[in-house]
Chain A
Amino acid sequence: KAGVTQTPRYLIKTRGQQVTLSCSPISGHRSVSWYQQTPGQGLQFLFEYFSETQRNKGNFPGRFSGRQFSNSRSEMNVSTLELGDSALYLCASSLAAVDTQYFGPGTRLTVL
């Protein structure tokens, strides 16, 4: 069974631009969560989707948004990029919300 895939793996943007990251979960997994990892703050929860519904969102500004499609694939979007948005963005999928999470390799975003 294929693992969680994320595209692109690396991305360089400039301040003010927007970016869209994609995550394809393990087949059959309906829960997809997104996390941000930075050296200063560590890993932080962004949002979680289950069957196309965003069930909760972490403490991030409205510039961070996401969605989930009917095939469980998910995208997250960051608008008006700031230098502080430079981070590793990880998605994880699971069968249910409280279940073993399988992480993708991450997208490393650099904002210049």
Chain B
Amino acid sequence: KNEVEQSPQNLTAQEGEFITINCSYSVGISALHWLQQHPGGGIVSLFMLSSGKKKHGRLIATINIQEKHSSLHITASHPRDSAVYICAVSGSGGGADGLTFGKGTHLIIQP
């Protein structure tokens, strides 16, 4: 069973700061997902990656398969980025074992 650890659990920063959220997992995976959840419950998939780096707007996600580690970066953070960011992994069993989730990082960006 994969164990997914995220850090930090809570993060408060000022608008404009560079944000980094980390995720580590214990066993091999087929893909890693970064999700965003706003108050009210809706979850949006930000990235799915199995190697290297992806960028979308001000968001960057990287993964190091050998070290079993991924990071999510937010550049020029804005109050609208305030949300819970969740790391999840698809197991190496072809994905039929569903996603295993980290506990999430509560991010607050103050104006």
Contacts and interface: CB of A to CB of B under 8 A. Distances in A.
A58 B97 CA distance: 8
Contacts of B103: 42
The SS class assigned to the A binding surface is strand
B82 interface: no
Interface of B: 30-31, 33, 35, 41-45, 48, 86, 88, 90, 93-104
Given A44-B101, A47-B98, A55-B96, A101 B31 contact: no
A42 to B, nearest CB: 5
Contacts of B42: 103, 105-106
B98 A58 contact: yes
Contacts of B93: 56
Consensus secondary structure, chain B interface: strand
A97 B95 contact: yes
Q: Which of B42, B43, B88, B98 counts the most chain A CB atoms within 10 A? A: B98
Nearest to B104: A42
9 contacts: A45-B97, A45-B100, A97-B94, A97-B96, A98-B31, A98-B95, A100-B48, A101-B99, A103-B44
